[in-house]
Amino acid sequence: MSKLEACIFDLDGVLVDTAKYHYTAWHDLAQEFDIELTTEENEKLKGVSRRDSLIHILNLGGKVLTEDEINHWCEVKNTHYLELIAGMDADELLPDVIRILDLLKDNAIKIGLGSASKNAPFILEKTNIAHYFQSVVCGLDVINSKPHPEVFLKGAEQLDVDPSNCIVFEDSIKGIIAANTGGFISVGVGDPEELNQAAHNIKDFTGLTLKSLQSLFS
């Protein structure tokens, strides 16, 4: 029978409020190509790699770039994003994140991060939560981006747990699909209609207890 041994968290939109910075950086870049990136289209970039996000935006305007140009504009976006988040601190953490991380740590539940962001280690340090994580797998560590489960499977391997004994918290449908495909217990954080493929849904971490987490395995 499965039991709670570990939790793996996505980063953007689950632990920290960085979505607004990503949107600003992508929006500004899109305007360089006379493309208007709406908030609706930006939602489709959740959990998507930097390269694939750029290609999605370019497709909106019917633009085609060489591989060198794609790499260049990815770096332009990332430089702008890093400027935007340079002043980040623990105030950017979403509600009850510290409490839930303390709860898991105090009960010897292993903690991992599985994020498409290549800046994940930097953000963990800026928000002062890096010390909670026994495993950090980010965009630098994987070949396949979500909805492929590689990022979560690598995390489970590093934590030495079976996916069936691990909860994945995600705010994107691609992340939920990745968790489900990998055999994890998926929990959607955010809109349950948007994340309707998740095994369970929560608005945020407020009110979550060890008992409620363990009950997900019943």
pLDDT in tens, 169-184: 999 999 999 999 999 9
Q: Whole-prediction pTM value?
A: 0.86
Residue 214, pLDDT > 80, answer: yes
Using only the alpha carbons of the chain, give its radius of gyration.
Answer: 17
Residue 47 pLDDT exceeds 90: no
Residue 1 lies in a domain: no
In the set 12, 91, 96, 141, the catalytic residue is: 12
Render pLDDT for 121-177 as a digit per residue (tens, 0 to 9): 999 999 999 999 999 999 999 999 899 999 999 999 999 999 999 999 999 999 999
The pLDDT of residue 36 is 95
Catalytic residue among 10, 102, 162, 204: 10
The reply to whether 80 and 163 lie within a common domain is no
The answer to whether residue 12 is catalytic is: yes
Can 191 be counted among the known catalytic residues?
A: no
Domain boundary, last residue among 68, 84, 100: 84
Number of domains comprising the chain: 2
Last residue of some domain: 60, 84, 108?
Answer: 84
